Amino acid sequence: MKLKDKVAIVTGGAMGNGLGIVKVFLKYGAKVIIFDYSDKLEETLQKLREDVYDVEGYTVDIRDRNKINECMKKVVEKYKKIDILVNNAGVAKLTPFEETTDEIRDFHLDINIKGTWNMSQEVLKYMPKDGAIVNLSSVTGPMVADSGEVAYATTKAALLGFTKGLAAEVVEKGIRVNAILPGYIMTPMVEGIAKDSDSENPASVVKGIADGIPMKRLGTIEELGELAAFLASNEASYITGQSFVIDGGSTLPETMSVGV
C-alpha cells in the first residue's frame, strides 16, 4: 500500500486517464479527491463508493482560481494536508492552424497551461515535505505531432518547461515534480477520434492506431495510473524534474519502413 494515508487531488479524474489514476491511487490506499468539471463526476463517485473506496469530488473549473482555493480549503479542513497533486485535466480540439481561432487557442492555453499553473500554485500552500506533483503532458508536442495539433502540442510541450522550472524551485521544500508523456491510451478521447473519423467502422480506426504501435495495442488507463502512482510514491523519492514516456513504443521507430 505505497500510497496508504496519502491525500491526493486528481484533476479531470471522472473519466479517461484521470479515472485510471484515481482507481490505482485508491488501490494503493490513498484518499483521493477528484476536481472535475465533467457531468460524469457524480456517476463516477457513486461507482467508486460502491466499491467502498474513500473518494470525494468537487465540481471545479481549473481556470477559476477562487473555486480551486475554496475547494482545497475544504480538503485541508478534513484531511489537514494535501500530499499529492496530479494535474491530469486537459483538452484537445484539433483544427488546422490557419483556421484556429483565438478562442480555440486560448481554450487550450487556459486549461492545459494556466489550469495546471493555478492548481500547482494553490496546492503548494498546503503540501508538506515529501509531497509530489505529477503533470500529464503528452508525446504530442515534446516528441511528435500531426496536422491540426498546433494548439494542443504547444501546450503539452510547455508543460515540460513548467515541470522542470517548478521542480527546481520546490526541491528545497522536499517536494518533487515530474511529468508523464502518454501516447495512445484507450480513453474516451481516442474513442471520440474514431467515431468522428470518416470510417463507418470506428473499431477499425482503433485497430489501425494499434497496428502502428510496436506493442500492437493501446495502453490502458490503469497502466498509466501505475506510472503516476510510482512517481507520487516514496519509491520515486530521488526523481524530480523528469519526464516519462508511456506509449507502447510508438515513438520508437526511426522510420515507418519495415523493409531493409
**37, 58, 126, 152: the active-site residue:** 152
Strands across the sheet containing 132-136:
55-59, 31-36, 7-11, 84-87, 132-136, 176-182, 243-246
C-alpha to C-alpha distance for 110 and 132, rounded to whole angstroms:
23
211: number of Cβ within 10 Å: 9
Contact 132, 30 (CB under 8 A): no
Burial category of 193 from C-beta neighbours within 10 Å (exposed 0-12, middle 13-18, buried 19 and up): middle
58 is catalytic: no
Q: Annotated active-site positions, please? A: 152
